[in-house]
Structure 1
Amino acid sequence: MTPGDEHDYGEPAGTRVRLPEADPYGGARRPARSSSRSMVTVVGVVVLLIAAIAFANRGGGDSGSSTTTADADKPKTSTTAATGTKPVKSKTGGIPSGFAHTQQGAQSAAANFAVALGSTGMFQKNSRHTLVDTVYTPDAAAKLQGAMDQAYSADFLAKMGLDADGNAPKGSTFVSRVVPVGTTVQAYSDTTAKVAVWYLGLIGMSGTDSTDPVTSSWKTWTFDLRWAGNDWKIDTDTQKDGPAPVPGDEQAATSDEISKAIEEYGGFTYAR
């Protein structure tokens, strides 16, 4: 179960239950990578360092280089390159709204919708209804509300370690976050847009008694958007696993460290 998986509105998927260890979050590091990988890393760093030095020293001998040459040296923009344009100027129900009627606006909308739909608010009925009514078209929202209420049943919430109202046990912190890494427009017209969001998801219960510690996953969330009511709204959405990078060698944090991080680090309003 990862943020966003709950949007398969059939029977709720079962959650993996991990037996608690001395600390379900910490302890053992992953096995050390081979020395060959370490050598590749060192070589890569040296190559990057040499390239950086060469770049810093470039062009010192010719102060009269033309504007054309300078323009040619500028990095090319990519699908998710920053533009400096603010994504929105308002919020509805705590969710960014009023996105631009452009491809950039559609990407910003999709990224922020993924964050909202992957949040802990989806596990509580009242906030879930508000979220769905805000980000989906009226027709789509009307069809989804009942199915979502069934999916987020008391039994399903109990598997996540939550009570029937979606609350975490005292002394524990339930974590559900979506962190967009990038977006891409797969199709666009004046009234519709198909935008994919590649994201890192965090989900689990942070607490000393948790048997389902916070884990991460990589997924791609694709939204079919429609321009309705002077804003982008979701008609339909689908998810698939990956692409996932090779895990690093960082030591897993303790439950206290995860809970503190969740409390101290807020989210963002996303724009391309």
Structure 2
Amino acid sequence: MAPDFSSIKPGSSPSVAATSSSSTAEPGSWKAAYNRIPNWKKYGFLTFFVLSIVVVLVAATMGGGGSTSSDTVRTGHGPNEITNGIPHGYDHTQAGAQTAATNFIQVANQVSLGRITAEDAKSNLVGSEATDALTAVLDDSASQAEETVMNVLPALVNVTDYSDDRAVVSVWAVSASQNDLSGTGNVSVITIWATTTVTVQWENEDWKAVDWSFRTGPEPSEVSFPEGDSTLAEFGANGLYTFFVE
């Protein structure tokens, strides 16, 4: 249909009808206020909003819904879990066996210092066929004085026998203790080199300690060329075991 120009007289100017466009905002409206905001502020607010949502989602995923007594960890050979401060959950490998044996020695030391209970150590680390000698290590450990410091540092770890369900691990270590000398306030420091042999058994998908033997020595000066029947005469593990971390 053609436009109707009959009402327009010569010399007059055509009137333009006002249109109510949705894109035109009235002064004082929220749209007008929004249009006056610089674009860089609009984009900055949008970016901040998106990042806030991402942070909340990540925190909800990783938070786990509260604290527990167990923590999951991961190394190349175990432990894979720590319960009440006790590492457990080792790989079904020779490296996992020697790590479990070494950490059992560390836990026994923690029991003697009163930091870990014998019951917790048994429930996480001791097998069903444990010998009396092994359970006595935990049961007979007397708590030391609170000011006593004792650290056990493994120097060499040897696996003297290994199968899929059993391993015998020899740990040559130095123990360094520090305490008050007879209540005088003077510090006494004692170091002892010793060899501890721990037998572990594969049980319930983990290496469990079932036997234990201990003897002092040898001193470092005695093992420059170890005797053939010494476990130190064989090459040991090259740092595969994990130290106990409180």
Q: Aligned equivalents of 1:147 and 1:184: distance in 2?
A: 21
Report Cα offsets for 1:27-85 as digits up to 9, x if no partner: xxxxxxxxxxxxxxxxxxxxxxxxxxxxxxxxxxxxxxxxxxxxxxxxxxxxxxxxx83
Higher RCO, 1 or 2 (CA under 8 Å, sep at least 6)? 1
Aligned match of 2:112 = 122
- 1:214 alignment partner, SS class: strand
Structure-2 residue corresponding to 1:101:
92
The answer to whether the aligner puts 1:245 opposite 2:220 as a matched pair is yes
Q: Distance in 1 between matches of 2:197 and 2:82?
A: 22
Equivalent pair of 2:77/2:90 in contact (CA under 8 Å) = no
Query: For residue 138 of structure 1, what is the aligned residue in structure 2?
Result: 128
Post-superposition shift, 1:145? 5.5
TM-score, scaled to structure 2 = 0.52
1:231 aligns with 2:222: no
Aligned to 2:189: 214
User: Gaps spanning 5+ residues in structure 2: where?
Assistant: 1-74, 223-240
Shift of 1:179: 0.9
- C-alpha separation in 2, matches of 1:86 and 1:125: 25
In structure 2, the residue matched to 1:168 is 145
Give TM-score scaled by structure 1 length. 0.47
Change (3 A) 1:143 1:104: closer
Shift of 1:126: 6.6
1:87–1:270 CA contact under 8 A, matched in 2:
no
1:140, CA displacement in angstroms?
Answer: 2.4
**Which residue of 61, 72, 76 corresponds with 1:85?**
76
**Equivalent residue, structure 2, for 1:189:** 163
2:138 and 2:82 map into 1 onto residues whose CA distance is 24
Q: Rg: which structure is higher?
A: 2
Residue 203 of structure 1 corresponds to which residue in structure 2? 177
Q: Does 1:270 align with 2:243?
A: yes
Once the 2 structures are TM-superposed, how far is the Cα of residue 142 of structure 1 from its aligned partner?
A: 8.4
Deviations, residues 187-223 of structure 1 (Å, cap 9, x unaligned)? 1111100011111112342466268823111111101
The structure in which a higher percent of residues are helix is 1
Instruction: State the alpha-carbon separation in 1 of the partners of residues 204 and 79 from structure 2.
Output: 15
The answer as to whether partners of 1:187 and 1:193 remain within 8 angstroms in 2 is yes
* Displacement after TM superposition at 1:111 (Å): 1.3
Separation in structure 2 between the aligned mates of residue 113 and residue 148 of structure 1, nearest angstrom? 10
Alignment of 1:31-70 (within 5 A): none
Instruction: Please state how far the C-alpha of 1:246 moved relative to its aligned partner.
Output: 4.0
Percent identical across equivalent pairs?
28
Distance 2:126 2:212 in 1: 10
Aligned length: 151
In structure 1, runs of 5+ residues without a counterpart are 1-83, 158-165, 248-267
Matched residue type, 2:148: F
1:262 corresponds to: none
The SS at the match of 1:118 is helix
